[in-house]
Amino acid sequence: MLNGTVSARMGRFMVDAARQAGMDPARLVRLPDVGDAVLADEFARVSTPTALLLWEQIILGRPAVHAGLHAVQLASMGTFGVWDYLFTSGETLAESLRTGCGYVTVIGDPGAEKLHVSDDGRLFTVTHSTGPAEPDVVAAVEQFVLPLISRRATEGLRRPVVPVRVAFRHGPPHTLGPLTEFLGTRNIEFDAPVNSMTYLAEDAHAPMPRTQPGLQDVLRSHAELTIASAKPVLGWHGAFRTTLRATFHDPDLSLASVARRMALSPRTLQRRLGELGTTWRDEVEGVREELAMDLIRDSDVPMRTIAARARFSDARALRRAVHRWHGTTPGDLRRRHEHPAPQGREEQSPEPPTDPPTPGAHG
């Protein structure tokens, strides 16, 4: 099952876009399924939670622009491999769009991204829906998918092809200028019941120039092989941990909110954790430890700031937790990392912290 994953090509594109948006390289390194070896593997699949985390970073890095539309402008023809060329290889634009939308699994999460086409002989419409995520991420994805298809339609016909109507489920952005300029129409609706893009039949059924007979069959076969050979890098638990870490700073962090991001019910998520011999509380504690230790060892962030980021009540609670985990203090761990002990010398056992306990400090 490829639900909950996207292609390595999509992962590579998202990583590049996040880097351009200013994402901290150290944070990228800690994402388990977007390493160089994974992204170089044509058949690897990156977890959707990782893709959503990258979208969040792109949005944070470009708060004044349409993040989804900006990403489309980075996606030149060929970025997504065979999926791109399926949009240009049919005898008509309608055939190409129908085929490309039918193979969304080649690059996207089949459990989240749905593309459909309809043709009444007068109008040809592409509809899109995406999975659960934070509202700004959903808006960015919606402003990425339909404009990307619009760009591929224009590239396939080798001339501008303008939709007569575009609709988005999310609310209107602060400015419409970039969208209307890119799509070539002012007929854009927001807060619509469904995301859609509609072309006149005369455009949709226009012949594609330079179509090579039999090419689409070859591309379909390659797409089928890509899907059949795909291999998710993370198992279910790894995807859960990635989701939990990506949402750890959310004020409303809860089992229910993480379940929603993974398109699961809270009861199903709780049951799956139980089957692995773990609990929600254990998982939160594990991510809290990972986050705190990364910041202690790899940064000069003050302890009170680390405590806040790792969801501790204060720095004393952080010190007690570190002693519980590693038998030493945060300051000593940081000094050891900066000045490793010479080989052959045994380090002295640190003194336990002397701060008085705070009730409920470790949540």
- 46 by DSSP, 3-state: which? strand
329 belongs to a structural domain? yes
Amino acid (one-letter) located at 352: P
359 belongs to a structural domain? no
Q: What pLDDT score does 344 carry?
A: 46
β 114-119/165-167 pair status: unpaired
The pLDDT of residue 48 is above 60: yes
Torsions phi, psi of 33, nearest 5?
-120, 25
Per-residue CA distances from 189 to 7, 27, 176 (Å): 30, 37, 11
362 belongs to a structural domain? no
Q: Could you identify the residue written with the tokens 């893709």?
A: 51
The rounded mean pLDDT for the chain is: 88
What share of the chain in percent tops pLDDT 90? 59
Judgement on whether residues 252 and 215 belong to the same structural domain of the protein: no
- 126 by DSSP, 3-state: which? strand
- Which of 228, 249, 278 is the last residue before a domain boundary? 228
Q: What pLDDT score does 261 carry?
A: 78
Judgement on whether residues 204 and 318 belong to the same structural domain of the protein: no
Judgement on whether residues 172 and 86 belong to the same structural domain of the protein: yes
Judgement on whether residues 79 and 168 belong to the same structural domain of the protein: yes
The pLDDT of residue 273 is above 70: yes
98 is in which domain, residue-wise?
5-228
Judgement on whether residues 194 and 255 belong to the same structural domain of the protein: no
- Of the candidates 111, 113, 136, the one whose C-alpha atom is nearest the C-alpha of residue 126 is 113
Judgement on whether residues 224 and 293 belong to the same structural domain of the protein: no
- Which of 207, 228, 249 is the last residue before a domain boundary? 228
358 belongs to a structural domain? no
| Tens-place pLDDT, residues 152-208 | 999 999 999 999 999 999 999 889 999 999 999 999 999 999 999 999 999 999 999
Judgement on whether residues 196 and 251 belong to the same structural domain of the protein: no
121 belongs to a structural domain? yes
| Tens-place pLDDT, residues 77-128 | 999 999 999 988 999 999 999 999 999 999 999 989 999 999 999 999 999 9
216 belongs to a structural domain? yes
Place 346 in a pLDDT band, splitting at 50, 70 and 90.
Answer: very low
Query: Is there a contact between 66 and 178 (Cβ–Cβ < 8 Å)?
Result: yes
What value does the mean pLDDT take over residues 146-153?
97
Collect all residues with Cβ–Cβ distance below 8 Å to 158 and sequence separation of at least 6.
Answer: 209, 210
Judgement on whether residues 259 and 310 belong to the same structural domain of the protein: yes
Sheet hosting strand 114-119, strand order edge to edge: 114-119, 123-129, 195-200, 165-167, 188-189
Judgement on whether residues 164 and 294 belong to the same structural domain of the protein: no
Domain count for the chain: 2
360 belongs to a structural domain? no
Per-residue CA distances from 134 to 33, 63, 130, 138 (Å): 21, 15, 12, 6
Q: What pLDDT score does 223 carry?
A: 96
Q: Where residue 50 sits, what CATH number does that domain have?
A: 3.90.1520
Q: Which two tokens stand for residue 125?
A: 């419409």
354 belongs to a structural domain? no
Judgement on whether residues 36 and 172 belong to the same structural domain of the protein: yes
Judgement on whether residues 124 and 244 belong to the same structural domain of the protein: no
CA distance 155 to 250: 40
Q: Where residue 243 sits, what CATH number does that domain have?
A: 1.10.10.60
Whole-prediction pTM value?
A: 0.74
- 176 by DSSP, 3-state: which? coil
Judgement on whether residues 206 and 273 belong to the same structural domain of the protein: no
- Which of 228, 259, 285 is the last residue before a domain boundary? 228
